[in-house]
Structure 1
């Protein structure tokens, strides 16, 4: 019998903690149309936690809905005057969206190689099933959201496409992939406030149980593909925090600068933060003409920790700092500055100035 100790009795060293620079990243979108320039900008400002850049200024297929449609497997869309619509087979517009994502992954891989950056994790973004179902029409002109069977089909198709995308991004970059699931339309879906094509009615309300189940499918798909983390993102002033936290995601991302400060929202945020779930806090304005002081940018997060009764150290080890939302509407100069400021904030939370 071997004299070697049983492996099960040998303590396993915990993973290295994330450095402050690894706790800052972008939301996704940037201004401009040059994918190589955008990737270099992201890697230059966020070398420790870069993301696949999204450039909606490129037009059809480059916006949030178009990019999600490009990931669909065995489903296709085309563009009508009213927006994206289901079609029988993929056409040029669908292939354009697929090509744009491939270019963006190529650009990130190339920028990492050019700079020699070797981040432990990289991030990609995808519209969630409910935002997608609200943003695409069936052939009859109604939203996919109006057909339960179609919603299920779209969710499974998107999940399969996400699996392929995550696996490819991880293989190309050699980094752990974090998936950000964007659900800006989810509050309207839950409220039943989206208009029908005629404009005289609204689409049916989706229950919280169904909404959570649909999101959980995407969370599970990301993990099955090897994602090292999943964050669900909703920048609405009153995001459904309990629902988002119940999807199995590792983190919930909010725009803290726009968040409703009512007791119910803050209490829900505190309950979420009191679990293993991390918070991603949008703190740096998406558009600015100046350069706000670091303490002014940090103040909403500092006040949040104080209001909820948490030690401010939680901001250093249980949060990721991001811009308030996407930067597509920013000037190139502010897009660069905003990403840099997120890193400065993450460092400051880890080593607060005495004046704070």
Structure 2
């Protein structure tokens, strides 16, 4: 069976309705996930939700964004309340469930690129602060997954690290605090080590770890070196060259979380999104049997769509997974 899942974000709806909708669509052999509803406000966004889980690194919310501080502000309390509500709804909706359960957190390098130091620079400019964020996130991720295991005892958590800024971190494309300069690129070895630190910290708590990066220049080779992590991508952004990198990763055992369903799709049949993916798979020389390493997802989060559109895209991902399974 080819499984389907989602990336994470969902449009504004009561969280109970979203959790149950996703359970009904995905719980039967696929990979359900804890939805993020960023339109609820600060603390429900990817960075704030994750920053609030950092161990012994308080944050607050300022006009430029989330900032490291001496004591947590009320925005952290709100972020914690959102996550508690979400996990409580998971516990109720998935009572008696056994199987995978995906949870999303901001990855260490996007987090370091998004958080601000008290003096006004990005955390990323300070190597020591960046190391502290990596270590703190590792502890925070362990705590979140421990809570998921406690609330849904039959769940096998899957941790997704969202790293949309990863290519910019590696190539020095991030703007400085002034906006006039660019930050120095971070050494790939340092980036690799940080990702490995978080992945190894959740070993034994997470059944698997994946890195989501919806960018054209996903660093596949670096992610392969991290070790046993899957890669989640928007397949529409893959070029002939990057498909070669995908092939090397899949042949090395990597799970490909393939975002083959555009979030704004007008497709009415899964064949319309499956055939371009299978054509590219065949052109790059990947064996049909390796499709068992694919998890089908929307191309990116669904937070900007309407609830009806999001539900349609998520259902199409499930149908697409079924169609690919027929090809095996």
Tell me the TM-score range normalised by the shorter chain: over 0.9
Alpha-carbon separation, structure 2, partners of 1:172 and 1:28: 19
Equivalent residue, structure 2, for 1:168: 147
Confirm whether residue 84 of structure 1 aligns to residue 60 of structure 2: no
Match of 1:4 in 2: none
C-alpha separation between the residues in 1 aligned to 2:27 and 2:315?
Answer: 10
Structure 2 residue ranges without an equivalent (≥5): none
Q: Rg: which structure is higher?
A: 1
Partner of residue 318, structure 2: 343
Q: How far, CA to CA, are the matches of 1:70 and 1:45 in structure 2?
A: 30
Aligned counterparts of 1:297 and 1:267: Cα–Cα separation in 2: 20
Measured after TM superposition, the shift of residue 250 of structure 1 is: 3.2
How does 1:244-255 map onto structure 2 within 5 Å?
244-255=223-234
Counterpart residue number, 2:79: 97
Corresponding residue for residue 262 of structure 2? 285
- Match of residue 250 from structure 2: 273
- Matched with 1:262 is 240
The correspondence of residues 107-146 of structure 1 with structure 2, limited to 5 A, is: 107-113=89-95, 118-146=97-125
For 1:45, the equivalent position in structure 2 comes to 25
Backbone CA RMSD of aligned residues: 1.4
Q: Distance in 1 between the 2:183 and 2:321 partners?
A: 41
Separation in structure 1 between the aligned mates of residue 320 and residue 244 of structure 2, nearest angstrom: 24
Once the two structures are TM-superposed, the CA of residue 139 in structure 1 deviates from its matched residue by 0.5
The aligned counterpart of 1:305 is 281
Pair 1:25-2:5 in alignment:
yes
Aligned pair count reads 325
Shift of residue 308, structure 1, vs aligned partner: 1.4
Q: In 2, distance between residues paired with 1:335 and 1:119?
A: 25
Of 207, 222, 229 in structure 2, the residue corresponding to residue 228 of structure 1 is 207
SS in 2 for 1:197: coil
TM-score, with structure 1 as normaliser: 0.88
The structural deviation recorded for 1:239 is 0.5
Q: Counterparts of 1:40 and 1:291 in 2: how far apart (Å)? A: 25
SS of 1:176 mapped into structure 2: strand
Deviation (angstroms), 1:293: 2.4
Q: Is 1:257–1:300's contact at 8 Å kept on the other side of the alignment?
A: no
Q: Aligned to 1:268, what secondary structure does the other structure show?
A: helix
Shift of 1:287: 2.5
Rounded to whole Å, the distance in 2 between the matches of 1:198 and 1:335 is 37
Contact 1:30–1:53 (Cα < 8 Å) also in 2: yes
| Counterpart selection for 1:334 from 298, 309, 313 | 309
- 1:324 pairs, out of 299, 303, 320, with 299
Match of residue 74 from structure 1: 56
Compared CA separation, residues 152 and 67, structure 1 to 2 (3 A): same
* Offset of residue 258 of structure 1: 2.2
Is 1:208 matched with 2:184? no
Given candidates 237, 241, 252, the residue that maps to 2:216 is 237
| Aligned-partner SS, 2:232 | strand
Residues 90-147 of structure 1: per-residue CA shift (max 9 Å, x gap): 121111111111111111121223xx6x241100001111000000100011000000
State the Cα distance separating 1:227 from its structure 2 match.
0.8
**Distance in 2 between the 1:352 and 1:266 partners?**
20
- For 1:249 and 1:143, locate their aligned partners in 2 and report how far apart those are by CA, in whole Å: 29
How far has the Cα of 1:198 moved from its partner?
Answer: 1.0
